[in-house]
């Protein structure tokens, strides 16, 4: 089976950058896969991406050696299994708030005896090799998002679930959950404390941790805090910001207030 | 944030008509959005419409000031949240039978602190404006369908859920639930009594009520009964009926027995 | 090979009605195919339909015994041949203005020795049968639209092209070509004269003739004038008109000025 | 309503073959529907098929008299009901492990009074006829997959659910559940015993049974064991195997180790 | 008919910026339409965009007041007319090298009596209004690309074609045609002379001129040279450049050599 | 620029096999790309494949080192250039009958100074590398199909066109052109003589030659005749034949008469 390069990099102490795709296009996915990310996540939760487009985007990413991951829209067994069958080498699952919820992800994401994932890796066995079935449990990454009050409170319980590989922080939801406005790259001490603790506890449990960021400077701080990987903006945000900046430069004024999420 | 025109119209005592789309095409959606409906609902439950097509249909409707709504296929958090992120200004949720089920809809459909909707309004913030996150809880409509025995029995419980904006009646399912055949524009006293009661109780709770109808005459009766809005047939039904009538007129005979739902 | 029912009906003196599809959806195509048309034309010229959608619409029509036809976007060999390979039993070609142009249609639409159509009926042989290649020249209809000044002037030349099965009138373009505004169901004597002459000359050449109409009454007049088939509005026009009428009836006013083509 | 030919065939003691489609294309679906299967199942679980493509594939299958069935991705009410509305004449539901889970399938798959399926057979009523609503409960097949430990243990409980028509075996998952590697056409006595028992108990309950196989020889054995129908490979597997064999024959060597699932 | 805002702006002496879309997605199109361009061109020539996607992208752009334009893949009547029917308010036609070729564009792009455009503005009449047919010849922009040797040599002949509204420069092809390498924002005196001359001759003929640029600085120079509008990069190029810059900033090194066109 | 492996293999005297895809699916394309072909041709002429699907299929093929080629639907500049921009490393052009037609292919397929291909390799530069523009003329294969009477008669004229890399035989059309029925793997002396001559003349001109075959045995004969590459059936034909054989084996009878092309 094709190895999951992320596991090796992280075990070797490397810090990686993860692309984040919400534009539903295999062309823009292929374009992004050529920019040098170690991994790219197709976002089926908040991205404008459904299953059919996700598969085409995974194919596009697979023209490079960028590791393909997917954020599933929800902790629902049908889509978790279909996403894995499509060849995702990592699953990021939103809003995991308890040990039970993390356990569900693992049960649906691992073949017996660890879980009850149904067998039928129709595209995964093309991408990974015909021995996918024997090695998938060891290679595919299962990551739970810590972004709710429950997730923060039950952090150690979640991290202790065997078969879960790590956690990922969605700062906007985490901020809302803690009573702040939605946003990224937070500086509030309470939020920073939680973020720091998540990275530390993950490492204490021998697990991986990642976080979404909106600037290279903040991303680097997160690497320094111990996160194994950072996501840096999204394709849609990069496109909107850069376009607004170009138009402002052309027109000689300040960048317009940005539209969009 | 762009206001939800339906709320203002209804509060001003206006009665509105809602279009209903089951044909999976952004072109026919745009065509319908030009016909003068105050709102149009893309039907992901019984319509031949999935998420990707729904997004394109919302874009087509957004070329006009018709308020875009979506009936979700089921009370499932993944699709409820994705639909809202896509810019739906109203969600109609099928088969809500209890306070708990209505509460689920609200929890998934509202940002904290009222609910736990995850933050990422990728297209909604384009359609609504960049302040969508701050005002969405107040603008977006959450409507529960009353069409099961449980829904009828627990009507007041459902209507008392804070954050639920109103109810919508699916007469075919309601009829089946009450032991009648499937159908619309019902005249049976028992069914009419339930319909009347739903409109009255909704108003008593300060909430909105709508119902699906199959003729202008019945629709007007429903307005008179107190419903804030009516849906009038569906795109597919309008097309089939009108085509059958034209062919019958051309051929000089009676309209053929209609095919289809 | 599955027979082309239109040929038999017309030879038996039957008058037929042809549906006309511009909405890009295999679902609405299937719905329309159940309404009782003898044939349905998927409009790739002015409809919002490209090749991929056209194929799906032909499949949908093929669930019934309605004869599937296609109006190609232009007299271009690539799309003419791909449309035939997809299983169209009739091709309507816009704006044929001369014998040479009609000859091109026939050359691309017929296998050797009559023409040079390339062999590869990938879906046609599923729909028609594995002997499609031997009988297609005799079954498939090739119809040239007469709607330009040249088409009117060279009518007999065009009709005398061997292998061309008939002509079809697009009244809007014909009206523009004759110096009138665009429109259908024309009553101007000059236009009616041309229309009448086209039907007569087609019969004189032993060929078929059809025309697009916008009302059952006009359609019947065209049957009486000798046309073998009439098209009656389009799916989009039927849907828009019927919707506007319903909304006007509900609101108690006159139908709004219709939007759209 | 169009009859469900499978029911009649099985009641007459006929053994049938079921095609299995994982390639997301209405063209290949139509091609397969012309090969002589009594039924074809579109696989939304492990196939690369989502709802929109499934509908188009059902349309393609409906150009023939092959009975259209669908394996749903999971026991989730939204997709079960949408699949039935799309015209599936049979639903195969993965991983049914208990009487409660089988009951859920029946509740979502049957109209009242047996279940609570919501009414809106938008395409089903085109395919089946306008009386679909009255006869669907009697015609549509609901089949539960027995492929987990729970499914084997609770076999009689599951088979005793009224409204469930039968069971279907997924040998790969069943093998994993029993502690073996994933695979088909199993010869292990323990697995064969379970397979045999499933066929016997289904018949004892007056229900239908089917199983997935990977070779004609094994398929025939399963017929002889009492299974009413067998699936024979999948479109993707047939294509990959046959291609590998052709290339090996051309190059004069042995067939390459097959890639893919 | 909805006015073509570009004509008014240019006649008022305003300089405008034109977006350029090659990513095949109505979502990214809508995102770009919110950034403040006066017009946006969907590129069907070098963009990864076909007709069906172009229509959806036009719909997305039409949710704003950005003027929608399309570069057609070639001077072919079928696609020119379908693009106009879809609601494009401007057509940019590649590689116009002679008066005859410019005349073809006008003949296909204008209704009689100026041209022979076929009547059927199926979406255009939704976007523009039901009087589209009467005013389209006066509102829709037809622009010929000057980017071949012939185009440069026959510049005045092309500009003198009545009904052609202006010209657009593709610097990469123009550079290749003049014997240089492909590229944008050229400083070579020979190329600059040709560019300057094209702007001047366009104005001398009372026509509009635009040019593609890759930087705000060069774009402003082109405005100063007399061009009415500039295009500034493409969505794909903006996305790739900005992503490469972010990754370089994060990793502390120089931006990688850019991949892609 | 990524090298075109086919050129090297052929120059080294290797014989290659070319896959042929008519099923419109990036999944089946990826499946086929894993079977060991040296090249795969996506068939936009007789396959059920349009531009958008072709791009996705090229992406799928690009996950392997199989060389991606495309048969264009016709010798039309728009689609020839879009196909090359999409990253095709070879173009097979149908029905080239004269030197002038071959010259057109080269003019549209080569950048200046050899031709006038327009610059904008939007996906090609991702697949091939950012120096694609400088090397594409030397790497991309342009192949003309010899399958008409004119093509046979003007064979040497066609082969002498500089910039054309070789020829490809479509035996079905060639047979029709020579007065025989459509079919493959021909044994008629006249046809075999023409086939042999084409291979010989190609080599005499220092060009490549390929041919479509329907069996490994015939394919090997063609290698022995001097053809550099053979295509062996199509995905659709392999799937239909293998399925029919499996069903016949299961049912104990002979394979049914095959349906389809």
By the CB < 8 Å criterion, does E109 face chain F?
Answer: no
The distance of A139 to chain B (nearest Cα, Å) reads 26
What one-character-per-residue DSSP string does chain F give?
----HHHHHHHTT--EEEEEE-S--HHHHHHHHTS--SEEEEESSSSS--HHHHHHHHHHHTTSSPEEEEE-SSS-HHHHHHHHHTT-SEEEES---SHHHHHHHHHHHS-TTT--PPS--TTHHHHH-TTHHHHHHHHSEEEEEE-SHHHHHTHHHHHT-TT--EEEE-HHHHHHHTTS-S-SS---HHHHHHHHHHHHHHHHTT-EEEEEESSHHHHHHHHHHT-SEEEES-HHHHHHHHHHHHHHHHHTSPPPPPP--
- Is D43:D79 a contact under the CB 8 Å cutoff? no
By the CB < 8 Å criterion, does D171 face chain A?
Answer: no
Residues in chain C: 261
Partners of residue F56 in chain A, C-beta under 8 Å: 26, 56, 59
The chain-wide mean pLDDT, for chain B, equals 96
Sign of the Cα torsion A120, A126, A132, A136 reads negative
Chains F and D in direct contact, meaning 3 or more beta-carbon pairs closer than 8 angstroms: yes
Reported as a single tens digit per residue, the pLDDT across B195-222 is 999 999 999 999 999 999 999 999 999 9
Using alpha carbons, select from F17, F16, F25 the residue that is nearest to residue F236: F25
Q: Using CB atoms, list chains with 3+ pairs below 8 Å to chain D.
A: A, B, C, F
The chain-wide mean pLDDT, for chain A, equals 96
Q: Are strands E67-71 and E39-43 parallel, antiparallel or unpaired?
A: parallel
Q: Do the domain assignments include residue C260?
A: no
Q: D126–C30: do the CB atoms touch at under 8 Å?
A: yes
Compare all CA atoms of chain C with the CA of B258 and give the residue at the minimum distance. C35
pLDDT band at B255 (very low <50, low <70, confident <90, very high): low
Instruction: Note the pLDDT of residue E252.
Output: 85
Instruction: Note the pLDDT of residue A174.
Output: 98
By the CB < 8 Å criterion, does D160 face chain F?
Answer: no
Choose from D25, D60, D120 for mutation: most chain C CBs within 10 A: D60
Each residue's pLDDT expressed in tens, for chain E with a length of 261 residues: 999 999 999 999 999 999 999 999 999 999 999 999 999 999 999 999 999 999 999 999 999 999 999 999 999 999 999 999 999 999 999 999 999 999 999 999 999 999 999 999 999 999 999 999 999 999 999 999 999 999 999 999 999 999 999 999 999 999 999 999 999 999 999 999 999 999 999 999 999 999 999 999 999 999 999 999 999 999 999 999 999 999 999 998 655 444 444
Partners of residue F72 in chain E, C-beta under 8 Å: none
Partners of residue C181 in chain E, C-beta under 8 Å: 133-134
How many interface pairs between C and D have CB atoms less than 8 angstroms apart? 38
What one-character-per-residue DSSP string does E94-143 give?
S---SHHHHHHHHHHHS-TTT--PPS--TTHHHHH-TTHHHHHHHHSEEE
Compare all CA atoms of chain E with the CA of A19 and give the residue at the minimum distance. E243
Chains A and D in direct contact, meaning 3 or more beta-carbon pairs closer than 8 angstroms: yes
Which range has the worst mean pLDDT, A138-147, A248-257, D168-177, E110-119?
A248-257
Q: What percent of chain F has pLDDT over 70?
A: 97
Using alpha carbons, select from B56, D198, E78 the residue that is nearest to residue C43: E78
Partners of residue B129 in chain A, C-beta under 8 Å: 259
Six token digits for residue B79: 């699709």
Q: D118–B147: do the CB atoms touch at under 8 Å?
A: yes
Can you tell me the distance from the alpha carbon of A174 to that of A193, in angstroms, rounded to the nearest whole number? 12
The distance of E139 to chain A (nearest Cα, Å) reads 26
By the CB < 8 Å criterion, does D177 face chain A?
Answer: yes
Interface confidence (ipTM) of the complex: 0.96
State how far Cα E261 lies from the chain centre: 18
Q: Which residues of D72-94 are buried (b: 16+ CB within 10 A; e: fewer)?
A: bbbbbbbbbbbbbbbbbbbbbbb
Using alpha carbons, select from B63, B69, B121, B72 the residue that is nearest to residue B90: B69
Partners of residue E34 in chain B, C-beta under 8 Å: 126
Q: Using CB atoms, list chains with 3+ pairs below 8 Å to chain F.
A: A, C, D, E
By the CB < 8 Å criterion, does D86 face chain B?
Answer: yes
Per-residue pLDDT for C248 more than 60? Answer: yes
The distance of E116 to chain C (nearest Cα, Å) reads 8
Residue E201 CB partners (closer than 8 Å, separation 6+): E155, E156, E159
Partners of residue C51 in chain F, C-beta under 8 Å: 50
- Cα dihedral D156→D162→D163→D167 (10° resolution): 10
Across the interface, which of F72, F76, F260 has its CB nearest the CB of C125? F260
Can you tell me the distance from the alpha carbon of D96 to that of C215, in angstroms, rounded to the nearest whole number? 55
Residues of E annotated as catalytic are: 46
Q: B30–E60: do the CB atoms touch at under 8 Å?
A: no
- Cα dihedral E33→E36→E41→E42 (10° resolution): -20
Six token digits for residue D36: 């002589």
CA distances, C246 to each of A234, B30, F15 (Å)? 45, 18, 68
Partners of residue D30 in chain C, C-beta under 8 Å: 59, 123, 126
What's the domain range around C68?
Answer: 5-251
Q: Do the domain assignments include residue A76?
A: yes
Q: Do the domain assignments include residue B190?
A: yes
Instruction: Note the pLDDT of residue F253.
Output: 60
Partners of residue C79 in chain F, C-beta under 8 Å: 73
By the CB < 8 Å criterion, does D224 face chain B?
Answer: no
By the CB < 8 Å criterion, does C78 face chain E?
Answer: no
Cross-strand partners of E36: none
Q: Do the domain assignments include residue F17?
A: yes
CA distances, B255 to each of B237, C35, C218, D70, F250 (Å)? 14, 10, 19, 35, 48
Partners of residue B134 in chain A, C-beta under 8 Å: 181
Reported as a single tens digit per residue, the pLDDT across A77-123 is 999 999 999 999 999 999 999 999 999 999 999 999 999 999 999 99
Compare all CA atoms of chain B with the CA of A183 and give the residue at the minimum distance. B119
Q: Are strands E16-21 and E229-232 parallel, antiparallel or unpaired?
A: parallel
Choose from F58, F84, F108, F112 for mutation: most chain E CBs within 10 A: F112
Element (H, E) at B169: strand B166-169
The distance of A134 to chain B (nearest Cα, Å) reads 30
Using alpha carbons, select from E55, E3, E2 the residue that is nearest to residue E24: E55
The distance of A111 to chain F (nearest Cα, Å) reads 23
Across the interface, which of B31, B56, B62 has its CB nearest the CB of E56? B56
pLDDT band at B252 (very low <50, low <70, confident <90, very high): confident
By the CB < 8 Å criterion, does F13 face chain C?
Answer: no
Chains A and C in direct contact, meaning 3 or more beta-carbon pairs closer than 8 angstroms: no
Q: Using CB atoms, list chains with 3+ pairs below 8 Å to chain A.
A: B, D, E, F
Choose from B57, B63, B82 for mutation: most chain E CBs within 10 A: B63
Which of the following is catalytic: B46, B135, B212, B228?
A: B46
pLDDT band at A23 (very low <50, low <70, confident <90, very high): very high
pLDDT band at B257 (very low <50, low <70, confident <90, very high): very low
Partners of residue D221 in chain F, C-beta under 8 Å: none
Using alpha carbons, select from D116, D125, D32 the residue that is nearest to residue D86: D125
Q: Using CB atoms, list chains with 3+ pairs below 8 Å to chain C.
A: B, D, E, F
Per-residue pLDDT for B261 more than 50? Answer: no
Q: Do the domain assignments include residue C256?
A: no
By the CB < 8 Å criterion, does C11 face chain F?
Answer: no
Q: Do the domain assignments include residue E215?
A: yes
C34 is a catalytic site residue: no
Per-residue pLDDT for F258 more than 70? Answer: no
User: What total number of domains does chain B contain?
Assistant: 1
Compare all CA atoms of chain C with the CA of E111 and give the residue at the minimum distance. C176
How many interface pairs between B and E have CB atoms less than 8 angstroms apart? 38
Compare all CA atoms of chain C with the CA of D123 and give the residue at the minimum distance. C27
Reported as a single tens digit per residue, the pLDDT across C123-169 is 999 999 999 999 999 999 999 999 999 999 999 999 999 999 999 99
Per-residue pLDDT for F257 more than 50? Answer: no
Question: Which CATH number do you get for residue C214?
Answer: 3.20.20.60
Q: Do the domain assignments include residue A227?
A: yes
Reported as a single tens digit per residue, the pLDDT across B1-46 is 999 999 999 999 999 999 999 999 999 999 999 999 999 999 999 9
Q: Do the domain assignments include residue F259?
A: no
By the CB < 8 Å criterion, does B171 face chain D?
Answer: no
Chains B and F in direct contact, meaning 3 or more beta-carbon pairs closer than 8 angstroms: no
């Amino acid at each position: 089976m094709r190895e999951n390069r992320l596991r090796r990099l992280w075990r070797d102490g490397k810090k990686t950058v993860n692309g984040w795709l919400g534009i539903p296009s295999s062309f823009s996915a292929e374009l992004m896969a050529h920019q040098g990310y170690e991994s790219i996540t197709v976002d089926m939760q908040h991205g404008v991406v459904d299953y059919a487009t996700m598969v085409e985007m995974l194919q596009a990413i697979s023209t490079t050696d960028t590791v393909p991951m997917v954020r599933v829209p929800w902790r629902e067994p049908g889509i978790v299994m279909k996403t894995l069958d499509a060849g995702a080498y990592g699953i990021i699952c939103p809003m995991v708030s308890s040990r039970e919820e993390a356990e569900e992800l693992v049960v649906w994401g691992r073949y017996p005896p660890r879980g009850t994932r149904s067998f039928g890796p129709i595209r995964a066995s093309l991408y990974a090799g015909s021995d996918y079935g024997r090695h998938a449990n060891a290679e595919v990454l299962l990551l739970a998002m810590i972004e709710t009050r429950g997730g923060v409170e039950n952090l150690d319980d979640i991290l202790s679930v065997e078969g879960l590989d790590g956690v990922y922080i969605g700062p906007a939801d985490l901020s809302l959950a803690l009573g702040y406005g939605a946003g990224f790259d937070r500086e509030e001490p309470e939020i920073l404390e939680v973020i720091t603790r998540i990275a530390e506890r993950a490492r204490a449990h021998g697990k991986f941790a990642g976080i979404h960021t909106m600037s290279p400077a903040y991303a680097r701080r997160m690497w320094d805090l111990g996160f194994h990987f950072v996501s840096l903006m999204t394709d849609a945000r990069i496109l909107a910001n850069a376009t607004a900046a170009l138009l402002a430069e052309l027109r000689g004024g300040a960048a317009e207030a940005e539209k969009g999420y």
